[in-house]
Chains A and B, each alone.
Chain A
Amino acid sequence: MMQMPDKLPRWLAPLLFTAALAGAFWRAPSPEAAALVPPPAAAPSALPAVFAAEMLPRVAASAHAASLAQLADGRIAAAWFAGSKEGADDVAIWYSVLGRDGWNDARPIANRESTAGGTFAHVRKLGNPVLYTEGSWLHLWYVSVAVGGWAGSSINHSVSTDGGKTWSKPTKLQTSPFANISTLVRTPPLPLADGGLGLPVYHEFIAKHGEWLRLSPTGQILDKVRMPHALRTLQPAVVALDEQRAIALLRDAGPGPGKVQMSATQNGGQSWEEGEALAVPNPNASVALLRLKSGRLLLAGNPQDSREAMLLWLSSDEGKTWQPSRTVESAADGGAEFSYPALLLGRDGRIHLAYTWRRQGIKHAAFSEAWLDGKTP
């Protein structure tokens, strides 16, 4: 073993260690107890039955995994990934805003080169984006892979303060000790009472399970909590029920025909416990979850055996039971895929849904609670 040079006194190393330790204790975060921002009080929606749908701009042969956010000025924004095919070199994160004349020209806001340039690390492919508005800040999280498949993903984060026109250089979230791999994002975060965010993420390497990242108001990771489950689960979609309670609905990652799985927290996300599977089918596909103005919960997903339909369910008892509501789109032509839904409640009470349309594009639908209840526009 190498010895210290004679000229360095032996008390130097413990002294330096003590100083470093004191600094580390000073720097180590000691956040207050976790709490969620409770949802607003339930109120009936006054909107009449409305439904409208349109395609977002087609930018490439393949498109997938949309995310929605409402900008500070009230416009609806969408981000998704598109390229020649999923996982291809040319896949980028695309962004478009819904104006009075419909969705404006989409433009790429992140690609392999910009991500590698911000993180100083090789990037092989990009995947799922998540948009989230926090005051005048528009957050973008998206996954990137350096080596291997999606299980080798890590999460990048970028921010825009001008409604998506310009974006900060991405930074990587450090979420794993093993080459920072296998943490992915798909669904939007929840605001926390301390000004931070709770970001639902998931893990795919060795095991498949949901996770909960607690972020400080400055974006620092304060905690990472597993959503334990006996089955393989992915892509938690989370809604807050009050300050302490939230539920996460998860994709059933198989094997075989599955059900939408549930996890729940009773302490603001500090710990999660496995809940009973819902009586809602899940063909190993992403789901979206939203709390409506009326206090009911809305779930978007697929039928039992395929992604050939985009279906909606409603729950009036905090997610315990679900009733089928509407079929947004379906086609039994074998190649149809209507999947990876994203839901957003607009400030005007309108509900926005974006989903992958046949892997060729992203479709957006806007509707009201009255339409969900069966009334016709």
Chain B
Amino acid sequence: MGFGSTGKILRIDLSSGSFAVEEFDEQFFRKYPGGKAFAAYFLLKECPQGVDPFSPENLLILATGALTGAPVATATRYTAAARSPLTGAYGESEAGGFWGPELKFAGFDAIIIKGKSPKPVYIWIKDGNVQIRSADHLWGNEPYEVQETIRKELGDNLIRVLQIGPAGERLVRYAAITNELRHFNGRNGIGAVMGSKNLRAIAVRGKTRFSELAAEPQKLVKLGQQLAKEAKNHPQSMELTEKGTPGLVTGLNAGGILPTLNFNGGSFDGAGNINWDAYQSILNSRRSCYACVIHCKREVEVSDRYEVSTKYGGPEYETIAAFGSNCGVSDLQAVAKANELCNLYLMDTISVGSAISFAMECFENGLIGLDDTGGIPLTFGNVDAMLQMVELIGKREGFGYLLGEGVLRAARALGRCTEKYAMHVKGQELPFHDPRGKASLSLAYAIAENGADHLTSIHDPALANPDSISFKGAIGWGTVEPIPARELSARKARQYLLFEHWSSFIKVVGLCYFGPAPRSFIQVDELIEAMRAVTGWEVTVEEMLEMGERSINLSRLFNQREGFSRNDDNLPDRLFHGLTSGPLSGVAIDPQVFAQVMTELYLMKGWNPQTGMPTRQKLMELGLEWAADLVGVV
């Protein structure tokens, strides 16, 4: 098409087994350039109000962005979206890997799936041709076997397979989706929605080359080569190459914000056993996503206290904190095993770890007992108990059935004042960056439409020093000022908002969080150049940020229609109390300051601070009059 897009959406109705191709024009695509924008647009427009997330009427959307598949490092990602079975809100999760680019090469920018197949199926897409095939023989099997079987029966080892696992089949509310067994749409339970449709996998293969889709392919190739060189020589991307996200453990622990024992503390005595130095003892290799030179993915191998193969990748930082410090576990081999089990059943490691640490704290305080847990002593640090629970959640058996509902539902079912230990926002478990040490994350966790999310903006330390590389990389995006990491204020809200739009934009166009400055190496002028070479549009920083802002407002309207309000933009009470360990002991978020800054943030967004919802004026500014009318914003 010439603007980085195929211009085609594949629509599939699994109830009838039918499909259709819808084309869209460049004007539509410039306003909604894929990814998160497609997800929010189609969920708002086509998902029936009040739909049960597990009903056939819920939509499952898989959408690449304008840059997905470009020969530029970190341009690999796609969005998976649905009404979330975990939160009941707008649900979204991004992943890298190889599947997104291959979908585009196979002829489609996005797939919108509705209905429910009467029997298990998988979808096979090759160069614009679509088949819905039986998955009777795949259902219940391990992801590795499923991928191998599909490739074998279709006769092509280079087929890219996206799939759910046994947890998605059993509707664990935080079930994940994977592609290539190592890249995950982990959050919000989109894998459970896929399972509810009896859809096990989507296999794709295509011959289209990105040069056929780009406005200026030669310029793009040259830029891609230049960026590849820069990625190898930039401190921020080089760190990701060497250590990946596991490199965060030591610093967060030293800074007193490594979530410990279900977010009670900020420093963990056993951190030295789960940090990057320790990780090197289980490291097997480094892997990458499509066309990315960073190689931030790790593969691990263990043959000692546990057996862990390289098949399902290695634990990221979030997983290490989830099953390590936050469960009181200082055995990295056990963390690697928990990671492997989650990736085998296909569940979000953040939510699984958080569900178990929640149960551990309930058990330690006598709110639940062996009668509840099926005889498993769920004390902090009990490695065997932790691993047993991961298996039970994946199988939806015993106490694992309840924990597979997420911490909010589990706490409400248990009663007994357990909800105070449920660390969630809108029902989604907290990621493992503590807002008591990174203040803007209090705003991020509270306000994100999809529940607590650590990738909606730039973390505070990156913008604290005006002479740092990250701060300098931020300047091109707008007005920034150095603000201490723990300051929570109106000026912090303004800065958060700028990079909330930045983060949303990169999800719209299919870039990775580890690509652009200020988080990493691609400077703003280089990104503009890439956007222009791909799309042919004379985009500006302002337009790119507006693409991000528009998508946020659409997803907000989805939540408004489902009855969400400002009351849902809150934090677990624990964060308003002091950390109990580490150098920041006693540090808490002031609830009154938090409420005041949230009010300021709504006003900055052009939203009503009473309801927490967009005003008509803001929606008109963003060209969303149709959405205002649809939801009844007057």
Q: Do A and B come from one complex?
A: no
Taking beta carbons and an 8 Å cutoff, which residues of A are in contact with B? none
Binding site for A on B (CB under 8 A): none
